[in-house]
């Protein structure tokens, strides 16, 4: 793959990751969260319904809502990255490739798969 094409693909991936976010509201509409990549919580909103819960219950609801939103974001981001990399994505916790494996992948003839 041409170095300029690699740089362009990398730029598009960085932009997609930086812009990624998911908003999710709990079923009872008490909690709304906006999450970004890496598990970051960008926004947290509590409606008046949130105050019906005890502190521990509300904490559990906030954590569940954040976890669910992060799961949705990971799925959406994996789909986006799959589109940007023509389906060449790794599992999130897969071992990192060695430098030799990376060189082999970059040197691979894209037409050889056809």
Q: What is the per-residue pLDDT across 35-45, written as a single tens digit (0 to 9) for each?
A: 998 889 999 99
| Alpha-carbon Rg for the chain in angstroms | 19
Domain ranges within the chain, ordered by starting residue: 3-113
Q: How confident is the model at residue 62 (pLDDT cuts 50, 70, 90)?
A: very high
**Quick one: CA torsion of 24, 82, 38, 71, rounded to 10 degrees?**
40
Architecture of domain 3-113: 2-Layer Sandwich (3.30)
pLDDT tier for residue 18 given thresholds of 50, 70 and 90: confident
Residue 36, by phi and psi: left (phi above 0), alpha (psi -120 to 50) or beta? beta
């Amino acid at each position: 793959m041409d170095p300029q094409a690699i740089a362009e693909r990398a730029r598009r991936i960085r932009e997609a990751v930086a812009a990624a976010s998911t908003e999710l509201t709990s079923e009872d509409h008490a909690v709304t969260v906006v999450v970004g990549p890496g598990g970051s919580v960008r926004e947290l909103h509590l409606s008046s319904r949130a105050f019906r819960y005890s502190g521990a219950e509300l904490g559990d609801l906030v954590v569940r809502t954040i976890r669910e939103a992060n799961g949705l974001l990971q799925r959406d981001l994996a789909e986006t990255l799959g589109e940007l990399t023509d389906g060449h994505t790794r599992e999130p916790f897969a071992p990192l490739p060695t430098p030799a494996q990376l060189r082999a992948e970059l040197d691979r003839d894209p037409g050889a798969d056809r």
